[in-house]
Structure 1
Amino acid sequence: MAWLPLVRQALQRPGLAVLLLALPWAAQALPSYREVRAEYRPSHTLILAADGQEVHSLRTNAQVRQGQWVALSEVSAALRLALLASEDQRFYQHSGVDWQAVSAAAWGNLWHQKTRGASTITMQLAGLLDEDWRNAAGRRSLGQKLGQAVAATRLERSWRKDDILEAYLNLVPFRGELVGLDALSRTLFGKAPHGLDGHEAAIASALIRGPNATAPVVGQRACGVLQSLAALQQRPAPDCAAVRWRTEQVLSARLWPASSGIAPHWARRVLAQWPPGQTLPSRITTTLHADVQRVALQSLQRHLRELQGHNVEDGAVLVLDNASGQVLAWVGSSGSLSQAHEVDGVLAQRQPGSTLKPFLYAQAVQQRRLTAASLIEDSAAHINTGAGLYIPQNYDRRFKGWVSARVALASSLNVPAVRTLAMVGVEDFYQQLAQLGLGLPQPAGYYGYSLALGSSELDLLRLTNAYRALANGGRWQPIAPLVAPLHPAPSAPPAQRQAIGPQAAFIVGDILSDSLARAPTFGLDSVLTTRFWSAVKTGTSKDMRDNWAIGWSQHYTVGVWVGNASGAAMHEVSGSSGAAPVWAEVLGYLHRAQPSLAPPPPAGVVQHSVQFAAGQGLDANRQEWFLSGTEQTRFVRDDKAPRTAPAGDEKNFAPRIDSPASGTILALDPDIPPAQQRLWLRASSPAVRWRLNGHILGTGAQLAWLPMPGQHVLEIVDAQGRRLDAVTVQVRGAGLSGKPRGKP
């Protein structure tokens, strides 16, 4: 606006001729209705789903509070009548300047009478469009009044009357930071502009005349507006007391929060990733599906309410489309149920527990170290580490003996997983996780063998996308952009890599979809069993702090985390009772009318019948999948005999403790129900009594002990109480309540 300095100079000159020559020139520079409409920016950005539904509104302008542009047809008739009665009764008759009102105002000034101002709605709009014609700190100068008059005349020639009224209602300041009718309606009245009634319309009109007036003054002016309308329509006078009460009530209201909707964390993520340098639009269409987002949020909140009393209040849900990588649902918290609802659980770093096992077994299969039918010993393991003995335990504190890799993975047995990691190597598995987008902040040696049981920290976003790689035949890709670019240009396809061989990914998926292989730990009626094909893995971290259920179908990958943002331990909540019901409900909704078929076997895998030695374990004869060249028919367990003295020669062997070894460090696994948290104590002779820290536990060659955190001395003694052998055991982890917990 290069003409502004010239106009300001003209306004400072005493010559009226120069002023009148400058004013038309300035008025010609006023924008058109289309320009005003195009440049309008609400203070809130609307985040839309892929189908255009609004999922969230987030305030992005801290200076003013403006809503969406409101078309005149969406303004209540009561407000239009009240506004014209208050501000410009001859709006539709004059051509920008109401000369009748000007004459009345001049006559009143002459005789020192108080009259209504002569500024029309069109003149006020001119002031809103150009600061030169706007009110200064005091009264407008003669130049400003003349400028408004000329600008209003120009506006009337180029704008339609309805456009003038519409723009005025969207740009006029009402009170404090509230600008425009939409902001006023939603903040003070909690409704859209089309729903304003007569009293609310009068209050809105009164606020235009005095935006910062006190509530009694606004109430009195609102009553005056209603009285004017009543006189024009020949109706009874209004009840001013009711209007004043309503005014007091609404002026203290703040009904339009800075953030509202069903996807607050998603909205912040979208804005955080908005391309630098691009203007933020008032509406952003994203990949989210509003119905999936709503179901995921409702399912999470409902299930957490059912877990009241178990000290769990937070959760997160992520839904990805397998083919495109688009985010269909992003629930970052449980909302009002949480004490930390601002924390985004999708991005929070938490311990993944057993959810890393599928990647470990896939790597072992791919390296041909294992097949799905290979037998792994599930027994007490004492692994020497730099920090002492590492002794992994299973969920139920019981060892299953020799089990196939299929059962070990599906039933989430911990000891076989650690033995598998010993075969693969910690460093190699560490690198495998990095290929799946699960890079860890510490070197491999920092985690050691506990990496098989999820001792690292990961977020739900990366972990769910890694499971999506399993769904896609081992091909890893980053998730798709959250928002389609404003100006799409040809670009290379998204980066991808074959993180896991398609054969290994297929076999692991087949294992995780096998409800029979899952039964030893989860039972046959598990919530993890869906009516369509799906593969899933649960996990629980140390001290019952994190609960996970992540799995996929033919079309979608769903990840759920349940826990506490504070890191507090849950009470009697595990993967199948915490996160799994939400996972099953969300995936069930996604496939309510869409089938999910098992993936076809890729080239390089064969199915072969296998046999296991009868009566020696959990595995039954079956058809099994193998990498070509690794198939075999018969699998025999190599059970070891207990360490006892040969029959008839007991007197030459002093009774001793066979298990646990002295110096054992036992880490309690939070996946294990307290009623089943038993460590089997074994001695070489049945004629002994067990003593713990000086107190008798029981008698016999084997005894199940419920471990408690602390440093313990285990002894075996004879009938006279003389010590025969002793070991020290350290137990780490949370204390046990003695109440049964749910399954993992």
Structure 2
Amino acid sequence: MRECANAMNGPSTLKRRWPRAFVRIALCVLLIGEPLAAHALPTFDDVRTQWRSSDWLLLSRDGVPLQRTRIDRTERRGDWVALADVSPALREAIVVSEDRRFYEHSGVDWRGAAAAAWANLWNTRTRGASTVTMQLTGLLDDERQRSGQRSIAQKANQAVSALWLERTWRKDQILEAYLNLVPFRGETIGLSALSITLFGKAPSGLDEREAAVAAALIRAPNAPYAKVSERACRILRDMNAPERCVNLTAFVQLAFARPAPALLSISPDAPMLAPHLARRIASETHPIAGARVTSTLDAKLQRFASDTLTRTLVELNAPAHPRNVHDGAVVVLDNATGDVLAWVGSSGGLSGARDVDAVLARRQAGSTLKPFLYAQAIDERRLTTASLLDDAPLDLPAGGGLYIPQNYDKDFKGWVSVRTALGSSLNVPAVRTLVMVTPHRFAKTLTALGLPLDQSGDYYGYSLALGSADVTLLSLTNAYRALANGGVAAPAVDVVRRPPAPVAPQRVFSRDASYIIATVLSDNNARTRTFGFDSPLATRFFSAVKTGTSKDMRDNWTIGYTSRYTVGVWVGNADGQPMWDVSGVTGAAPIWAAIVGYLHRRVPSVAPRAPAGVVQTRVAFDGNIEPARNEWFVSGTQTPIVGLAANANPTDQATSVSRGSTRQSASSPASAAPRIGSPADGTLFALDPDIPATRQRIMFERASGSSGHSSWRLDGKPLGRDERVLWLPWPGRHVLELVDADGASADSVHFEVRGAAARQSTPPHSIGVPPTPLTSTRQDRTANGQKL
């Protein structure tokens, strides 16, 4: 033992007695070190199990990798690569470069060691005596690896460990572990990280030249590219491929200049499918490096939703008719479990803010809140879907003046049923319903559904009926899922948890009201007044769906559910810019229709069964206000005939009426004088974003009893002599006059139109007379009837 110690700690002159000393040291270490090595070295399974990449990985529900996120900033380590997934060229390059007799020796290449010792004695340059197995034992010992020591004693210890390793590991395991643990250039550790960083491909795809460069980096990881190419060329000659040395220096230089990717993946060409959900999960669960988190996402659905969103936005921005819509988001929920099956947070490269998660961004809800309003009114027994609402101009006092909601096409529909009002997304009936329900109680309902309202209902006022509150796509989609589940709200789930995280379901609507609302949202006939018979909302299977658009065409939504899934889509611009010429069914609706079609390409969607608390009754409408039909009612509220109250005038309600005018009535002595009945002085009009601009009109009407010997003049230009004039609105402040036969102004009002019109070079004409043009020729198309 003392001789062994003296041999290991001898003077520097030991170098000149290298061959003899090496043999003595090796024999001593074999005697005392092999039992220790047996306990010190891990098994192959331990090494592979303990390997941690520098990223954490988000998986789909069935284990498909979706997204990588880097955590360890000190080293770049990819996934563990099986030897079967390494190209044969690289395996050959490693063997000829580092250990020619790898498959022949038992851990120590005694011939190579003797040759190296002899050459060292005569100061001759040699390949070296360390085998792949010996290098691996050093890699398994972090302290030795980092110290960089190469003393004779440590060489001997490596030899002992190598001999033991060869007795317990197979050759393929040794080579596989070596390729995964060996450091390459810079911070790169292991073949997976090198292959993707340097060559942009998986290790299985490396050719002879790439393999030679990779092998050359093991000896001198940080050498300049000229040295690396020189060594790689020698390796290629040993591989009998000298022709691959042509232009090798330029190839190495180009590989070194390749920018390092932000994330590593064995499949580097595969897109990162869920960056926004991964960021959300990371902020909540703080995964460690190498962690693999299983989400609830469906990988195929996630890819389809992302591709559909991108394709639709590209079509909407075709050069022939650009719509200025660059962002979008998609959420798909499982109705029964609440699992998030798809989470597309942005349009990727099309977006100027691709890191913004539009699934969680708060945007104005538009008309998507109307189903909840009518469900609450039905639950409170204030309305049925056969109830008639007056779709006529409405003035409501608000804190800043009059709140005057506008309808889809401005020639008000008159008396309509709740089914028609909701199906065709009419604004004025919704506001009238909110007057009954009250903004305060409706806001509490929306909060119970999980919508993030920061203020009380009184803050939003009557504009809450038309979606003035800011919501997120996730919360809004999950609120529709409550309707799909019979009025019961429960949180959505984005990570698979075992056991599942407890949830607290809350009943918000009755099963009866939820079912009745579903019959309306799935009724294509109820939508025809606004959307026509043929629209993306009409599916070949059961689906209940609603669109919505916020003021100034900044947000376009389509939210709906089938018997198994709830799908929410938002399109717009992350920076809040208005879209151009995008209506309620041309923006988000085609994306929604494509996704629900994909979901039910093989699985049917059937309408829900009627609960015990509802009855179906044949309803006739007095005066043929609407055609007779079968209608659903909460039991006890049904009625076979629906008519107007005695003081209601069905012929007048279909047209515009005076908005709080204080002018003299027809019975007054001055009734013959020309007077403007509508609009009232100071009226503010807010255009509806769900309506195509060419279909929107404002009605100018003489007061009852006014003289017919007068003509209209708008902004100083003649506008006709009819009793009522429909004008295509144009944003701005306007002056409307009635002029007598002498051309003098007999009456005038000032009003303002807020919103936008289609982008065009000149303002639209109405009755051959163009309104006053705006200074800008690029206009967003519409605006909602919000609180002004």
TM over 0.5: yes
| Alignment match, 1:287 | 296
| Alignment match, 2:768 | none
Instruction: Give the Cα–Cα distance (whole angstroms) in 2 for the partners of residues 508 and 430 of structure 1.
Output: 19
The alignment status of 1:199 with 2:209, answered yes or no, reads yes
| Alignment match, 2:190 | 180
Q: Deviations over 1:209-232 (max 9, x none)?
A: 1111111111110110111232xx
| Alignment match, 2:324 | 311
The alignment status of 1:272 with 2:283, answered yes or no, reads yes
Contact 1:96 1:152 in 2 (8 A): yes
Taking the TM superposition and a 5 Å limit, the aligned residue runs for 1:428-577 are 428-480=441-493, 482-485=494-497, 488-489=498-499, 493-577=502-586
Distance 1:51 1:132, change over 3 A: closer
| Alignment match, 1:4 | none
User: What is the one-letter code of the residue matched to 2:692?
Assistant: P
| Alignment match, 1:334 | 347
Deviation at 1:425, TM superposition (A): 0.1
Q: CA RMSD in A?
A: 2.9
The alignment status of 1:51 with 2:51, answered yes or no, reads no
| Alignment match, 2:632 | 625
| Alignment match, 1:103 | 114
Q: Deviations over 1:8-50 (max 9, x none)?
A: xx99998999x95986576442322121111101223333222
The alignment status of 1:245 with 2:250, answered yes or no, reads yes
Instruction: Give the Cα–Cα distance (whole angstroms) in 1 for the partners of residues 559 and 111 of structure 2.
Output: 74
Q: Deviations over 1:686-711 (max 9, x none)?
A: 33233334444333332223333333
Give me the TM-score of the superposition, normalised by structure 2.
0.86
| Alignment match, 1:601 | 610
Distance 1:682 1:22, change over 3 A: farther
| Alignment match, 2:166 | 156
Contact 2:479 2:489 in 1 (8 A): yes
| Alignment match, 2:305 | 296
Give me the TM-score of the superposition, normalised by structure 1.
0.91
Taking the TM superposition and a 5 Å limit, the aligned residue runs for 1:374-393 are 374-393=387-406
DSSP-derived class of the 2:416 partner: strand
Distance 1:79 1:510, change over 3 A: same
Mean alpha-carbon deviation: is it higher for 461-470 or for 294-303? Answer: 294-303
Distance 1:292 1:50, change over 3 A: same
Mean alpha-carbon deviation: is it higher for 717-726 or for 168-177? Answer: 717-726
| Alignment match, 2:220 | 210
| Alignment match, 2:267 | none
DSSP-derived class of the 1:174 partner: coil
DSSP-derived class of the 2:530 partner: helix
Q: Deviations over 1:484-528 (max 9, x none)?
A: 23xx34x78521011111111111110011111110000011211
| Alignment match, 2:641 | 634
Contact 1:133 1:147 in 2 (8 A): no
| Alignment match, 1:41 | 52
User: What is the one-letter code of the residue matched to 1:381?
Assistant: L
Deviation at 1:258, TM superposition (A): 1.7
| Alignment match, 1:702 | 724
Contact 1:122 1:164 in 2 (8 A): yes
Mean alpha-carbon deviation: is it higher for 316-325 or for 708-717? Answer: 708-717
Deviation at 1:648, TM superposition (A): 11
Contact 1:438 1:463 in 2 (8 A): yes
Distance 1:627 1:11, change over 3 A: farther
2:734 to 712, 719, 725: 712
Instruction: Give the Cα–Cα distance (whole angstroms) in 2 for the partners of residues 200 and 101 of structure 1.
Output: 27
Deviation at 1:424, TM superposition (A): 0.4
2:696 to 667, 677, 692: 677
Contact 1:132 1:144 in 2 (8 A): no
Contact 1:78 1:201 in 2 (8 A): yes
Deviation at 1:650, TM superposition (A): 8.2
Deviation at 1:671, TM superposition (A): 2.0
Q: Deviations over 1:228-257 (max 9, x none)?
A: 232xxxxx7435224333323322234754
| Alignment match, 2:776 | none
Mean alpha-carbon deviation: is it higher for 263-272 or for 599-608? Answer: 263-272
DSSP-derived class of the 2:381 partner: coil
| Alignment match, 1:611 | 620
Deviation at 1:483, TM superposition (A): 2.5
Distance 1:725 1:225, change over 3 A: same
| Alignment match, 1:722 | 744
DSSP-derived class of the 1:118 partner: coil
Contact 1:390 1:664 in 2 (8 A): no
DSSP-derived class of the 1:134 partner: helix
DSSP-derived class of the 1:115 partner: coil
Instruction: Give the Cα–Cα distance (whole angstroms) in 2 for the partners of residues 54 and 134 of structure 1.
Output: 32
The alignment status of 1:320 with 2:342, answered yes or no, reads no
| Alignment match, 2:587 | 578
User: What is the one-letter code of the residue matched to 2:589?
Assistant: A
State the identity %.
53
Contact 1:687 1:700 in 2 (8 A): no
Distance 1:126 1:400, change over 3 A: same
Contact 1:575 1:743 in 2 (8 A): no
DSSP-derived class of the 2:547 partner: strand
Contact 2:213 2:228 in 1 (8 A): yes
Q: Deviations over 1:575-605 (max 9, x none)?
A: 2001101111110111111111111111211
Contact 2:689 2:781 in 1 (8 A): no
Distance 1:12 1:706, change over 3 A: farther
User: What is the one-letter code of the residue matched to 1:338?
Assistant: S
| Alignment match, 2:419 | 406
Deviation at 1:742, TM superposition (A): 11
The alignment status of 1:189 with 2:199, answered yes or no, reads yes
Distance 1:573 1:736, change over 3 A: closer
Contact 2:55 2:290 in 1 (8 A): no
Distance 1:94 1:648, change over 3 A: closer
Mean alpha-carbon deviation: is it higher for 57-66 or for 511-520? Answer: 57-66
Distance 1:470 1:238, change over 3 A: same
Instruction: Give the Cα–Cα distance (whole angstroms) in 2 for the partners of residues 243 and 475 of structure 1.
Output: 67
User: What is the one-letter code of the residue matched to 1:547?
Assistant: N
Q: Deviations over 1:659-694 (max 9, x none)?
A: 122232222222232222321111123332333344
Q: Deviations over 1:543-569 (max 9, x none)?
A: 011111100111111111111111111
Instruction: Give the Cα–Cα distance (whole angstroms) in 1 for the partners of residues 739 and 398 of structure 2.
Output: 31
| Structure 2 unmatched ranges of 5 or more | 1-6, 13-23, 265-270, 765-779
Deviation at 1:630, TM superposition (A): 1.0
Q: Deviations over 1:362-398 (max 9, x none)?
A: 0011101111000000011111111001110012122
Deviation at 1:531, TM superposition (A): 0.5
Instruction: Give the Cα–Cα distance (whole angstroms) in 2 for the partners of residues 648 and 211 of structure 1.
Output: 100
Distance 1:70 1:646, change over 3 A: closer
Contact 1:360 1:421 in 2 (8 A): yes
Instruction: Give the Cα–Cα distance (whole angstroms) in 2 for the partners of residues 588 and 558 of structure 1.
Output: 11
| Structure 1 unmatched ranges of 5 or more | 1-9, 231-235
Contact 2:431 2:463 in 1 (8 A): yes
